[in-house]
Amino acid sequence: MAVIIQASRQFSYAVAKMMAKGEGAMEATLVKAYVCKAAEWVTREALQIHGGYGYAEEYPVSRYWVDARVLSIFEGADETLAIKVIARRLVAAAKA
């Protein structure tokens, strides 16, 4: 779980540097898709570790799962982002 979190963090930092230079629009979409999936996986594993308590609303891990799940829905679903941004950029690059 720590490896996935650190990889997500480093990917985000690298894309942020690109964005600061006015580049990396497609990479920003890629990092959003990756980090959302990573957050879901990590919180699902955390729920598994906590067992039945992971689903109890009294424990923060339950809320983390709900928050992580909604990340891929807000600001455009991952599937929509993949079609609208990533696929279009890849097709345009292939034509060039």
Question: Could you list the active site residues?
Answer: 75
Where on the phi/psi map is residue 29: left (φ > 0), alpha (ψ -120 to 50), or beta? alpha
* Residue in this structure with the two tokens 């809320």, named with its chain if needed: 63
Nearest one of 62, 34, 68, 40 to 50, comparing CA atoms? 62
Q: How far apart are CA 16 and CA 23, in angstroms?
A: 9
- The set of residues, in sequence order, having a beta carbon less than 8 Å from that of 14 and lying 6+ positions away, is 27
